[in-house]
């Protein structure tokens, strides 16, 4: 049975789902009516069981990592360990007010400080801030740092930031929000940065470059040292988009490659759950020279004590109300300690092994535009046989029928029918073999019964959606449903 009720549909006047202690303090008069609303917000009135059953039924309409394989490219959908959750929920952390005196929060500040230190060790950058809330937020702060750095050197012409055409959409968007102009450089056929193109745009108006390495087609920028030399020589800085950090753990460090600034997605590389689109956490790391620009407040260790510095001598300013998503940091901290120095360096190996194995096992039926060894992810450019008219969208929708989350599709934009596959290190050979067999079956169906694939999905709670309809006449709240 398809559950299509909204919580508002369950509302019955007078029903309640909460208890409160007996009031001990008298009721005080409310302020004059100028300040008061004259109606009551239309929130539902439901019992506790109704709420529990409703959201349990709503949850059944979702696909999570614990249900099946989730090879979503550039998203690093690895297993989210349970113990992370248990540690983050401990009342001794969850009940702390952000303005408690320093001596009463040494435990959480130790977690904060150790995480900063370990991220530095992992990435090769000198200092980290954990204040940014997400990857895109980290990018924004990183670009602000680049801008502030040039400004303080009196070099105000540097208003442009180089972004490869294969970059995540957040890169150019973050540049705009930071008041910089993005300059796109074309990729080589293998997705790497074209050095000649790069040289052509480098000049005294370039503030820096944003790169992810391996890039979004899963290829390591083997000329990274040369790129770094060129950009630095031209007076620019290098920003590392940490979305693809997973295949570098135990292999190489962005700081050693010459990157000056980076963000890390704790919700990708460090196993904290994505939560259906957040909360994430996007710590930003910088070289020693850029440390003065980190956002405030700053957490430091002074002697035996961890301290919060609200007003550091120099800073680019404040970018979060408090200190970032601490609850997420606690999970990443637990993960780093669980993996430890023994196992964290194994992540790159197994994620890269998984990706190459899938690539080689499917390239006879899916179009592989970039031959050779990839890192943790790679792209197909749709099915090899294009004569059937079955598109990447169709393949993705058909995968839904087999309880596999589809790979990322139509990104990066450098190919027309991109299927971007990232099988994290937590996935076993059995799971991956199963995925390969399903992908082959869909390819076979595409050639034998193309209409079947074009009509997919069939086994999901809803079938293919009319996305254009939603935009033409937006219905964005319950009240709109009642009036439509």
Segment 377 to 416, residues that bind other proteins, using CB under 8 A: 396-397, 400, 405-406, 411
**Least CB distance from residue 442 to other proteins, whole Å?**
15
327 binds other proteins (CB under 8 A): yes
Tokens linked to 279: 């909360």
- 45: buried, middle or exposed (CB in 10 Å: 19+, 13-18, 0-12)? middle
7 binds other proteins (CB under 8 A): yes
Helical (H) or strand (E) element with 117: helix 106-123
Per-residue mark of binding to other proteins, 425-454 (x: CB under 8 A)? xxxxx-------------------------
Q: Which of 211, 261, 328, 442 binds other proteins (CB under 8 A)?
A: 328
Helical (H) or strand (E) element with 170: helix 170-177
Q: What angle do CA 401, 405, 407 make, to 5 degrees?
A: 120
Q: Which is nearer to other proteins, 85 or 367 (CB)?
A: 85
**Least CB distance from residue 128 to other proteins, whole Å?**
14
- Helices 392-400 and 429-448: crossing angle in degrees, nearest 10, is 120
Q: Which of 206, 224, 261, 390 binds other proteins (CB under 8 A)?
A: 224
Q: What angle do CA 317, 267, 141 make, to 5 degrees?
A: 20
Within residues 454-473, the interface with other proteins by CB under 8 A covers 455, 457, 460-467, 469-471
Q: Which is nearer to other proteins, 302 or 387 (CB)?
A: 302
**Least CB distance from residue 346 to other proteins, whole Å?**
6
Cis check: omega of the bond before 214, within 30 degrees of 0: yes
Parallel, antiparallel, or unpaired for β 181-185 and 206-211?
A: unpaired
Q: How many residues bind other proteins (CB under 8 A)?
A: 202
Neighbours of 50 (CB within 10 A): 18
**Least CB distance from residue 175 to other proteins, whole Å?**
6
Q: Which residues 6+ apart lie within 8 Å of 177 measured at CB?
A: 140
332 binds other proteins (CB under 8 A): no
Q: Which is nearer to other proteins, 366 or 447 (CB)?
A: 366
For the residues of 298-317, what is the DSSP string, one character each? EEEEETTEEEEESS-SS-S-
Per-residue mark of binding to other proteins, 356-375 (x: CB under 8 A)? xx--xx-----------x-x
Rounded Cα distance between 122 and 187, Å, is 28
Within residues 17-76, the interface with other proteins by CB under 8 A covers 17-18, 20-21, 23-28, 30-32, 34-38, 40-46, 48, 51-52, 54-56, 58-67, 70, 72, 75
Q: Which of 127, 212, 246, 334 binds other proteins (CB under 8 A)?
A: 334
Q: Which is nearer to other proteins, 100 or 441 (CB)?
A: 100
Q: Which of 111, 162, 264, 421 binds other proteins (CB under 8 A)?
A: 111
Contact 381, 414 (CB under 8 A): no
Rounded Cα distance between 461 and 3, Å, is 9
Q: Which of 155, 204, 256, 364 binds other proteins (CB under 8 A)?
A: 256
Rounded Cα distance between 272 and 149, Å, is 32
**Least CB distance from residue 240 to other proteins, whole Å?**
13
Task: Name the nearest CA neighbour of 335 among 413, 271, 254, 248.
Answer: 271
Rounded Cα distance between 120 and 138, Å, is 15
- Residue 185 Cα to chain centre, angstroms: 24
**Least CB distance from residue 386 to other proteins, whole Å?**
23
298 binds other proteins (CB under 8 A): no
Within residues 83-102, the interface with other proteins by CB under 8 A covers 83, 85, 87, 89-101
Q: Which of 15, 157, 186, 416 binds other proteins (CB under 8 A)?
A: 15
107 binds other proteins (CB under 8 A): yes
Q: Which is nearer to other proteins, 78 or 291 (CB)?
A: 78
Within residues 146-205, the interface with other proteins by CB under 8 A covers 147, 163, 168-170, 172-179, 181-182
Within residues 228-247, the interface with other proteins by CB under 8 A covers none
440: DSSP letter = H
Rounded Cα distance between 31 and 118, Å, is 52
Q: Which is nearer to other proteins, 80 or 387 (CB)?
A: 80
Q: Which is nearer to other proteins, 26 or 387 (CB)?
A: 26
477: DSSP letter = S
């Amino acid at each position: 049975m398809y559950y299509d009720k909204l919580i508002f549909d369950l509302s019955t006047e007078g029903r309640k789902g909460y208890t409160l202690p007996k009031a001990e303090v008298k009721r005080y008069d409310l302020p004059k009516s100028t300040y008061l609303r004259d109606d009551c917000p239309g929130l539902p009135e439901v019992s506790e069981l109704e709420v529990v059953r409703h959201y349990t039924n709503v949850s059944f309409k979702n696909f999570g990592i614990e249900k099946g394989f989730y090879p979503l490219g550039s998203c690093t959908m690895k297993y989210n360990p349970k113990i992370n959750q248990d540690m983050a929920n401990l009342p001794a952390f969850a009940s702390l007010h952000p303005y408690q005196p320093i001596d009463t929060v040494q435990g959480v500040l130790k977690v904060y400080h150790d995480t900063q230190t370990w991220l530095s060790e992992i990435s090769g950058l000198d200092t980290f801030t954990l204040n940014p809330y997400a990857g895109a937020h980290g990018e924004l702060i990183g670009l602000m740092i680049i801008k502030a750095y040039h400004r303080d050197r009196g070099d105000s012409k540097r208003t442009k930031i180089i972004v490869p055409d294969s970059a995540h959409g957040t890169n150019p968007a973050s540049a705009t929000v930071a008041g910089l102009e993005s300059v796109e450089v074309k990729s080589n056929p293998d997705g790497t940065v074209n050095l000649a193109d790069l040289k052509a745009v480098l000049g005294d108006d370039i503030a820096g470059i944003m790169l992810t390495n391996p890039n979004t087609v899963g290829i390591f920028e083997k000329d990274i040292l040369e790129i770094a030399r060129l950009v630095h020589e031209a007076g620019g800085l290098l920003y590392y988009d940490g979305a693809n950090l997973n295949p570098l753990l135990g292999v190489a460090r962005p700081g050693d490659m010459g990157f000056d600034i980076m963000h890390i997605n704790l919700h990708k590389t460090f196993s904290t759950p994505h939560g259906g689109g957040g909360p994430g956490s996007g710590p930003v790391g910088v070289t020693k020279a850029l440390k003065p620009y980190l956002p405030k407040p700053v957490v430091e260790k002074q002697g035996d004590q961890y301290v919060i510095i609200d007003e550091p001598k120099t800073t680019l300013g404040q970018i979060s109300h408090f200190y970032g998503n601490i609850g997420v940091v606690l999970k990443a901290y637990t993960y780093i300690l669980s993996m430890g120095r023994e196992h964290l360096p194994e992540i790159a190996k197994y994620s890269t092994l998984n990706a190459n194995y899938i690539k080689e096992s499917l390239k006879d039926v899916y179009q592989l535009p970039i031959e050779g060894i990839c890192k943790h992810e790679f792209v197909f450019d749709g099915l090899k046989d294009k004569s059937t008219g079955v598109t990447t969208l169709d393949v993705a929708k058909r995968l839904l029928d087999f309880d596999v989350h589809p790979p990322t599709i139509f990104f990066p934009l450098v190919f027309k029918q991109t299927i971007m596959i990232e099988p994290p290190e937590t996935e076993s050979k059995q799971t991956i073999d199963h995925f390969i067999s399903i992908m082959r079956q869909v390819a076979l169906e595409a050639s034998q019964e193309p209409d079947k694939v074009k009509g997919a999905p069939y086994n999901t709670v809803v079938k293919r959606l009319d996305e254009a309809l939603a935009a033409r006449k937006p219905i964005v709240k319950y009240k709109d449903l009642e009036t439509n």
